[in-house]
Every structure is written in C-alpha cells, then in structure tokens.
Amino acid sequence: MAEIKKITRRLQGTIVSNKMKDTAVVSIVSKKVHSKYKKAYKSTRRFNCHNQDNKFKLGETVIFEECRPMSKTKRWRILSKVK
C-alpha cells in the first residue's frame, strides 16, 4: 500500500503572549487592501502554539507548524526561532 505523506502548513509570526503553561500566542500581521475603497489596513491572526518547557520568550519571531489537536484551541507547534 502506498504511504500517504501529510502536508503540514508552516507559518512565521511573533510571540505576543507566553503566560500560559507550555502555550504561546503567536501573531501574524498582514497588510491588505480594501477592494472598493483601495485603503490599506493591517489584519492580525493569532494562533495558540505548543511551547515546550516555555523555551521561546515574548517578542521572538518563530516558525510554527500545524499538528494534531493538543487541546480545545491548540493545534500548532513551535519549531524554531528565526535568527
């Protein structure tokens, strides 16, 4: 039987909160343009990520990937820090 490789999404963002145990909130800010008014605005998405042993600190830019559900809201895992 052929082995199926799961494609996981990898994103990059900044840690904005690490007050929870083994969890960090990572924020991604993107610029968008309104279709009718052509005004540029910022859009923010926040992800709850698994932060093993609270290794990553507030303000660091990290790479994180999709994984199995670890809790009600946590479906992402932090891989590494961006230099």
Q: What is the DSSP letter of 47?
A: E
Q: How far apart are CA 25 and CA 74, in angstroms?
A: 10
pLDDT of residue 5: 81
Q: What is the mean pLDDT of residues 1-29?
A: 92
Residue 4 in domain: no
Q: How many structural domains compose the chain?
A: 1
Residue 5 in domain: no
pLDDT of residue 8: 84
Residue 77 in domain: yes
Residue 68 in domain: yes
What is the pTM for the complete model shown? 0.86
Domain that holds residue 26: 10-81
What proportion of the chain, given as a percentage, has pLDDT over 70?
99
What CATH number should be reported for the domain holding residue 76?
A: 2.40.50.140
Residue 2 in domain: no
